Homo-oligomer: A and B are copies of this chain.
């Protein structure tokens, strides 16, 4: 069965390249053949999105709220089909699928609620003062306006919540921007099924054709063509540093550069101070083991390096941690290439001088396993080897044993920007410590006595930190503030 592209309200499959998705648990190919979009189809989707921009950006916020809520309802009504396809393509289990599905619905309704606020479209009003001297003051009203057609790249690790109608799409549609999805090839069928529902809803609500399109793509070409297309005004991307930086550079080389919101890699350092281990060593060990291994560690906020001070408490903690970690079960990763890359990268870390394997999780009998691994080194080695400071995407973390807290601080002064920075402590007034200041400077979110995974969808969330964890640390990719990425102010003076 051929799966076409969805271009506005039409299906189109002009291309000759096709690809299939795989069940990573069994290594079996699914039967559907996805027809990759051609340059002509990219153009059509961009032209339609551009034509839809003027009427769509001028719909009232309430109309767009209705659109988002109707999408959420439509998803709910097709939940079992969607979850079934999701699990078959990602290898992620039903429980995870349920959580991610609920998150996706919550994101859509959060934006709908935001848009339902009185006069949301007005950012500021400054009233006229006709009698001001020497010159009268005009009335100034600053409106929020969507920036134009947006391309969203699906993410490999979140088929629902960061892909087809995930956070980026919900934010862009809420802002009044038409969206073109570059579907992720690992879960192209899940994406297509979701997209079909969005198109159905848009049509039912008489929204302009082109407000949403969905393109199949297995390689880089379609993405490149979209980023370079003169009618595209912004990009949402979740993925690797390499991919994000390439897109950012392409977008900057255009004759009219456009903003790219790339949420990229992060090591997510965790510092465990001796004071914390005196109190709840075992609880910390359990929390961290789960945070590193759940969903095979395929989270952008997975803790990748744990910093401890050499001490009796640390020795005890490591014993407990090892026992707990060994019980962690290995699962299939979302795709054979992800599993292969993970295995290579984890091995690469352990193969570095003065790094050793500390312990492994339990191996199971399915394909494309991400075997949970902890490796071990010391502060000096970590500080001097940049390779150890890069993310390993999967259920791996590096234990870094330091001489003292000062060494931890010295090391962390030199690391690059991070999405998160976690700090387990039992100090009075930790927020006056230098380590806390350092955490604020290095990351978008600082977690005290908690793990970084489990990103709350909240207006108070900052998901995005200094480069290279994000391409623009002034914006968040999670929570309703993420709409600011796709809006600009326009003032009407009269």
Provide the residues of chain B in CB contact with A138, threshold 8 Å.
447, 450, 456
Distance A476 CA – B488 CA, assembled complex (angstroms)? 9
Provide the residues of chain B in CB contact with A445, threshold 8 Å.
490-493
Cβ contact of A462, chosen from B142, B441, B456, cutoff 8 A: B142
User: B124 touching A493 by the CB < 8 A rule?
Assistant: no
User: A447 touching B145 by the CB < 8 A rule?
Assistant: no
**A442-494 residues at the B interface, CB under 8 angstroms:** 443-450, 454, 456, 458-462, 465-468, 471-474, 476, 481, 484-485, 487-494
Assembly of this chain: how many copies?
A: 2
Distance A442 CA – B492 CA, assembled complex (angstroms)? 13
User: A491 touching B446 by the CB < 8 A rule?
Assistant: yes
Please tell me if A257 contacts chain B, counting CB pairs below 8 Å. yes
User: B490 touching A124 by the CB < 8 A rule?
Assistant: no
User: B491 touching A460 by the CB < 8 A rule?
Assistant: yes
Provide the residues of chain B in CB contact with A460, threshold 8 Å.
123-126, 140-142, 491
Please tell me if A196 contacts chain B, counting CB pairs below 8 Å. no
User: B462 touching A487 by the CB < 8 A rule?
Assistant: no
Please tell me if A414 contacts chain B, counting CB pairs below 8 Å. no
A467 with B257, Cβ < 8 A, contacts A461-B140, A473-B488 known: yes
User: B490 touching A481 by the CB < 8 A rule?
Assistant: no
Provide the residues of chain B in CB contact with A448, threshold 8 Å.
492-494
Binds B, one of A14-22, A71-79, A248-256, A328-336: A248-256
Please tell me if A345 contacts chain B, counting CB pairs below 8 Å. no
Provide the residues of chain B in CB contact with A459, threshold 8 Å.
124, 126, 142
**Distance (Å) between the CB of A176 and the closest chain B CB?**
11
Q: Mark A263-300, 1 if CB is under 8 A from B, else 0.
A: 00000000000000000000000000000000000000
Please tell me if A120 contacts chain B, counting CB pairs below 8 Å. no
Distance A447 CA – B137 CA, assembled complex (angstroms)? 13
Q: Which of A431, A460, A465 has the most CB of B within 10 A?
A: A460
Q: Which of A143, A461, A468, A489 has the most CB of B within 10 A?
A: A489
Can you list 14 A-B pairs, Cβ within 8 angstroms, ordered by A?
A123-B460, A135-B454, A137-B456, A140-B461, A142-B461, A142-B481, A147-B473, A257-B467, A444-B490, A445-B492, A446-B490, A456-B493, A465-B490, A474-B488
